[in-house]
């Protein structure tokens, strides 16, 4: 099986007849990529003469796109965050390290397989599109999603809600029939700004940022193996 997918055209994956839409964040929600991302950022820091940072510290820097991650890691390492070649260097390193440790969270592939029979599924991530498509393809998750929107695509990165609103419109759904699933406060803000329901994956690494502030009506799931059940319960109120 090839590990280099072509970018799927909108609507070429499975699409359920219902207009209910489930949109997922990627890192920390569907896949556990924390170690590969953090170690790649550390390799960049070390390549400029800095000392590697604790993995948990680098993990708090993840979520707002590769450029911001690299700048934060360099600054934390006592280096110039504006190093002109640092982002390109990170992308090369991360491409090499992409699959060393990364894998879907337990229960996620089975949950997605069940959900495709009941709703339209999509991905909205701040990760660049090339590694996003590659990861989804390698783990055979790409066929579950009708659309994938990455952080370097046509829409501003989260928490700007433009990408989520685009997915709602393209799917022929509505805010009232859309659920956004993510693990960080960035995802929380994205869902709030778009006016959609939210489910927070507390098993992910977004909480390491220490900034989750949820309302009483914003549910969470602590175990990835329970994610499908939580979403199915939400669907039962929408179908």
Taking the C-alpha atoms of residue 81 and residue 96, their distance in angstroms, rounded to an integer, is 22
Q: Who contacts 171 (Cβ-Cβ below 8 Å, separation ≥6)? A: 15, 19, 21, 120, 122, 146, 147
Q: Give the CA angle between residues 191, 192, 196 to the nearest 5°.
A: 55
Closest CA to 108 of 168, 27, 2: 27
Question: Is 25 a catalytic site residue?
Answer: yes
Q: Which of 25, 36, 142, 197 is catalytic?
A: 25
Which residues are the active-site residues?
Answer: 25
């Amino acid at each position: 099986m090839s590990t280099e997918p072509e970018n799927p055209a909108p609507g070429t994956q499975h699409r359920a007849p219902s207009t209910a839409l489930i949109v997922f964040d990627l890192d920390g929600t569907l896949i556990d990529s924390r170690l590969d991302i953090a170690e790649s950022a550390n390799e960049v820091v070390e390549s400029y003469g800095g000392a590697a940072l604790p993995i948990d510290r680098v993990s708090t820097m993840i979520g707002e796109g590769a450029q911001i991650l690299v700048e934060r890691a360099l600054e934390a390492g006592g280096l110039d965050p504006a190093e002109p070649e640092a982002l390109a260097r990170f992308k090369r390193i991360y491409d090499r390290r992409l699959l060393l440790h990364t894998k879907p969270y337990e229960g996620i592939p089975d949950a997605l397989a069940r959900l495709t029979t009941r709703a339209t599924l999509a991905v909205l991530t701040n990760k660049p599109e090339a590694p996003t498509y590659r990861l989804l393809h390698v783990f055979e998750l790409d066929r579950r999603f009708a659309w994938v929107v990455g952080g370097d695509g046509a829409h501003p990165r989260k928490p700007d809600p433009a990408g989520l609103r685009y997915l709602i419109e393209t799917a022929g759904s509505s805010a009232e029939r859309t659920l956004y699933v993510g693990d960080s406060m960035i995802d929380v803000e994205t869902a709030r700004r778009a006016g959609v329901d939210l489910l927070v994956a507390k098993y992910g690494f977004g909480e390491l940022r220490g900034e989750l502030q949820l309302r009483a009506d914003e549910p969470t799931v602590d175990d990835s193996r329970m994610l499908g059940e939580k979403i199915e319960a939400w669907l039962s109120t929408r179908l």
